[in-house]
Amino acid sequence: SCENPEDENPRYQNPTEFVVNESPYKDALIELVNTENIIITCSQPNYGYAAAAEYAVQVSLDNNWDSENGFDEAVQTLGIKSNSAEIAIDANELAVMLCSLMGVVDENDVESIPMQVYLRVKCSIPNIAGSEIYSNIVSLNKVVPYYALPDVKLPEAMYMVGDFCGWDWNNSAA
């Protein structure tokens, strides 16, 4: 055959468009303390094939996405990563981030009044440099934050000195 089968194979291409859909909860009152997840959906960027992409949600209080004006991608990206174009934002994690962005250090510093929160999604293909693309910006207009702290991370190992359990580990503090 004179045909080249590689011409028909999908090939990586840099995507030019990536759209997050407006949330049906855009204008609904979202009390984070009473919410488990906030679902957002998006289209997959056109990488030239159905890529196993990774989606990460970024948050802003002032719709500023410029690092020269204070946006910090490392700080303002939620920890959850999704491999689906339907992303579940953990309400507690969002509350922790909002407290951090507002500079809240005390429970009394959080006002339980609705606020506007801006979101965008960063999509990339792991291990492919330059595959990153950012979505359009969507907002949730009535988010009620609460005082939230990050989860406590316990040490992986604890070293104890002394005869606190009679050297019998069956009597040790578990």
- At residue 59, the 3 state secondary structure works out as strand
Q: Hey, what are 42's tokens?
A: 């998006």
pLDDT of residue 108: 87
- pTM of the full predicted structure? 0.82
CA 5/CA 76 separation, integer angstroms: 44
pLDDT of residue 50: 85
| Amino acid (1-letter code) at residue 154 | L
CA 15/CA 45 separation, integer angstroms: 6
- At residue 34, the 3 state secondary structure works out as helix
In the chain, what percentage of residues exceed pLDDT 90?
A: 59
Give 37's pLDDT tier (boundaries 50, 70, 90). very high
Point out which residues pair with 77 in neighbouring strands.
58
Give 21's pLDDT tier (boundaries 50, 70, 90). very high
Give 92's pLDDT tier (boundaries 50, 70, 90). very high
CA 66/CA 62 separation, integer angstroms: 11
CA 130/CA 134 separation, integer angstroms: 12
**Contact in structure between 56 and 77 (CB atoms under 8 Å):** yes
